[in-house]
Amino acid sequence: MSPVRPSPAAERDAGLQPERTRLAWRRTTLACSVAAVLGVRQALRGGGAAGEAAEVVLIVLVWLVFLVVAHRRMRELAAARPPGLAPRAASGVVACTVALAALAVAVVL
């Protein structure tokens, strides 16, 4: 008599992993928010030229895009069996991170 094998869905016990991942997204969102606030603060201290206003708008835009992607991911992780991170979302997060770093360099220079 062969043993009864559980279905693949029953084999996986996610435990607290989705919650840890949600908390990691929250920490990352907080870090991105702090970086955006510091970037805006530095840009506004520069004197108020038109280029600096554009930098502020771009920083806020990048921050908002990151927040939207992160919030969607946190909502997905609330499911009983959350899906993997979509390549498009991962690319969006990477693009926001690189753009925020580039804007930080532009503000400093």
Q: Domain-by-domain residue ranges, the chain?
A: 17-108
Confidence grade of residue 20 (pLDDT, cut at 50, 70, 90): confident
Q: What is the largest CA-CA distance in the chain?
A: 81
For CA atoms 60, 65, 70, 72, give the dihedral sign.
positive
Q: Look at residue 14 and tell me whether its pLDDT is greater than 70.
A: no
Percent of the chain clearing pLDDT 70 (strictly above): 83
pLDDT at residue 1, rounded to an integer: 54
Least confident of 5-9, 24-28, 44-48: 5-9
Q: Which single residue is written with the structure tokens 């991942």?
A: 21
H helices within the chain, ranges in order?
8-11, 17-45, 50-76, 87-108
Least confident of 5-14, 50-59, 91-100: 5-14
User: How many residues does the structure list for the chain?
Assistant: 109
Better-scored residue on pLDDT, 87 or 11:
87
